[in-house]
């Protein structure tokens, strides 16, 4: 049965629905600790938390400075510093838990993108090969060149990675040489400046 033609809006809506389902599935598999960490991270990264904490700090300091008696935490506010230290000690690991989960999701998406890109590259290579065969069977004249044949070959990803690593190493080496020359020039300028100061007559100083 022939599939009916779909508009770009229908295709986009289908893709959005697939992405939303993937996000819901990632949210469903979270542990209780991860859910709690995400909620706390979202709360601590909001304006509501910032405003609430600012109000509490201002009220705490104001009451202990302006109160005539019963100052439970006078200057230098040791109890307040202790409370903020406890908050920082627990907030940092909670934020790291949430960030680690987000990093895992990002890595999973990157792997999915890589897999889809590799499949698309393989499909494109096969399409080019089939088009070449069809043109030969139909007697259609083709433009002869190395690029057309090269595109029909299978991409060797390991060799591409080695080539990228080699190019990056060359770039790092060049940057290191440039930085080394810049440091040498700076040292030479400082030495010349020091020598000029030493040669300046005493009455000119």
Tell me if 37 sits within 8 A of 98, measured CB to CB: yes
pLDDT of residue 151: 62
Q: How far is CA 49 from CA 55, 87, 88, 124, 193, in A?
A: 10, 13, 14, 51, 55
Q: Are 91 and 84 in contact (CB under 8 A)?
A: no
Lowest mean pLDDT among 91-95, 124-128, 201-205: 201-205
Q: What is the per-residue pLDDT for 43? A: 92
pLDDT tens digits for 153-188? 666 667 777 777 777 777 777 777 788 787 777 887
Residue 37: count of CB within 10 angstroms of its CB: 21
- Cα–Cα distances (Å) from 107 to 37, 113, 122, 152, in that order, read 19, 10, 22, 30
pLDDT for residue 92 is more than 70 = yes
Count, residues in the chain: 205
Residues with Cβ within 8 Å of residue 49, at least 6 apart in sequence: 43
| Average of per-residue pLDDT across 54-65 | 92
Instruction: Please state the separation of Cα 22 from the chain's center in Å.
Output: 20
93-109 core/surface letters (b: 16 or more CB in 10 A; e: else): ebeebbeebeeeeeeee
The residue ranges of every structural domain in the chain are: 19-119, 156-199
Q: Grade residue 112 by pLDDT with cuts at 50, 70 and 90.
A: confident
């Amino acid at each position: 049965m022939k599939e009916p033609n779909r508009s770009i809006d229908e295709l986009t809506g289908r893709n959005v629905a697939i992405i939303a389902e993937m996000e819901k599935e990632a949210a469903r598999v979270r542990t209780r600790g991860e859910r709690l960490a995400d909620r706390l991270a979202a709360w601590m990264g909001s304006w509501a938390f910032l405003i609430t904490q600012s109000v509490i700090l201002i009220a705490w300091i104001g009451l202990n400075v302006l109160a005539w008696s019963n100052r439970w935490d006078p200057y230098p506010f040791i109890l307040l510093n202790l409370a903020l230290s406890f908050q920082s000690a627990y907030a940092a690991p909670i934020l790291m838990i949430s960030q680690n989960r987000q990093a895992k999701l990002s890595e999973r998406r990157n792997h999915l993108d890589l897999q889809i890109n590799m499949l698309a590259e393989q499909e494109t290579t096969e399409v080019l090969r089939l088009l070449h065969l069809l043109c030969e069977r139909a007697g259609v004249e083709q433009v002869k060149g190395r690029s057309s044949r090269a595109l029909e070959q299978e991409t060797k990803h390991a060799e591409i990675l080695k080539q990228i690593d080699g190019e990056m190493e060359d770039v790092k080496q060049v940057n290191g040489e440039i930085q080394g020359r810049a440091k040498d020039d700076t040292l030479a300028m400082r030495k010349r400046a020091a020598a000029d100061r030493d040669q300046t007559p005493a009455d000119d100083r």
